[in-house]
């Protein structure tokens, strides 16, 4: 590390669980963030501030005025611009040493298969069930750790999936892709602004723990947050032996 990096990241280096070696792993890491909205904004900002060397942001949407209530990486001046490009600008304003690639396209299986072999970690910050399952399946195929979160109304969820661990359940073990349900989105149901900041920040924290090799990631748990009552709960999740996604990757 350079003298400037030693100073910039000194508060991480002072932590015994991270130190210089952990910070060097962060600097060498490549994080792929799917979704540049309410969750992706704080996740990208904290990963960039922490010094993750490469960040790829994938989102095909543009900044809308209604986003500004909660998507803190975007600004009024960037309404109408690419969300992925907006996040790139926001991260560079904090830490110009981070290489940020903005992809203005929807995440599909082909794109994920192209990106993931070079990734250290994936953060699913999307807002729909189909994309979550695509991302989960790709992470299982490529054995890349995944930090997935969701937020709606006042409620948040967080999962950490680590396909490198034979005992780690995947997203499909908990939410079967064949299950039928009514898709709900904040565009119609609403979302409490600080909730997405809380959940996106937690995603960044879990990602940094996995990258640096510190702490105990929330693998094997579904963490739930009720921001209306400031109530946290968690349930253990189990790997399904006949899971349609991960049972062939034991």
pLDDT, residue 26, reads 98
* DSSP per-residue string spanning 152-186: EBTEEEEEEE-TTSTT---HHHHS-TT-------H
Domain residue spans in the chain? 3-249
Confidence tier at 186 by pLDDT (50, 70, 90): low
State the Cα–Cα distance between residues 151 and 191, nearest whole angstrom.
Answer: 7
Rounded to two decimals, the pTM is: 0.95
Give the C-alpha distances (Å, rounded to integers) separating 248 from 10, 136, 228, 245. Answer: 43, 14, 40, 7
- Does the structure show a pLDDT above 60 at 250? no
Distance, C-alpha 241 to centroid of its chain: 26
Q: What is the pLDDT of residues 187-213, one digit of tens each?
A: 667 899 999 999 999 999 999 999 999
Does the domain at 3-249 match CATH 3.50.50.60? Answer given as no
DSSP code string of 70-105: T-TT--GGGTTSBHHHHHHHHHHHH-TTSEEEEE-S
Residues labelled as active-site residues: 186
- Give pLDDT tens digits for 64-109: 999 999 999 999 999 999 999 999 999 999 999 999 999 999 999 9
d(CA 149, CA 181): 18
Which pLDDT band holds residue 177 (cuts at 50, 70, 90)? confident
Q: Quickly tell me which residue has 């490009």 as its tokens.
A: 85
pLDDT digits (tens, 9 = 90+) for 17-28: 999 999 999 999
Integer Cα distance of 172 and 227 in angstroms: 26
């Amino acid at each position: 590390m350079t003298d400037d990096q030693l100073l910039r990241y000194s508060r991480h280096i002072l932590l015994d669980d991270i130190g210089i070696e952990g910070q060097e792993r962060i600097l060498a890491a490549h994080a792929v963030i799917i979704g540049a909205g309410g969750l992706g904004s704080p996740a990208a900002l904290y990963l960039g501030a922490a010094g993750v060397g490469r960040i790829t942001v994938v989102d095909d949407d543009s900044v809308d005025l209604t986003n500004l209530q909660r998507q803190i990486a975007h600004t009024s001046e960037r309404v109408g611009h690419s969300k992925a490009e907006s996040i790139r600008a926001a991260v560079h304003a904090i830490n110009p040493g981070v290489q940020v690639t903005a992809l203005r396209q929807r995440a599909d299986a082909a794109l994920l298969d192209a990106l993931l072999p070079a990734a250290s970690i994936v953060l699913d910050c999307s807002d729909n069930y189909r994309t979550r399952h695509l991302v989960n399946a790709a992470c299982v195929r490529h054995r890349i750790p995944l930090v997935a979160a969701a937020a709606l109304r006042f409620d948040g969820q967080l999962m950490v999936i680590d396909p490198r661990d034979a005992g780690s359940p995947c997203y499909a073990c908990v939410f079967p892709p064949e299950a039928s349900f009514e898709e709900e989105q904040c565009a119609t149901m609403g979302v409490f602004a600080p909730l997405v900041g809380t959940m996106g920040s937690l995603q960044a924290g879990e990602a940094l723990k996995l990258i640096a090799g510190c702490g105990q990631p929330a693998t094997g748990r579904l963490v739930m947050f009720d921001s209306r009552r400031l109530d946290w709960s968690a349930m253990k999740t189990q790997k399904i032996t006949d899971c349609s996604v991960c049972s062939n990757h034991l």
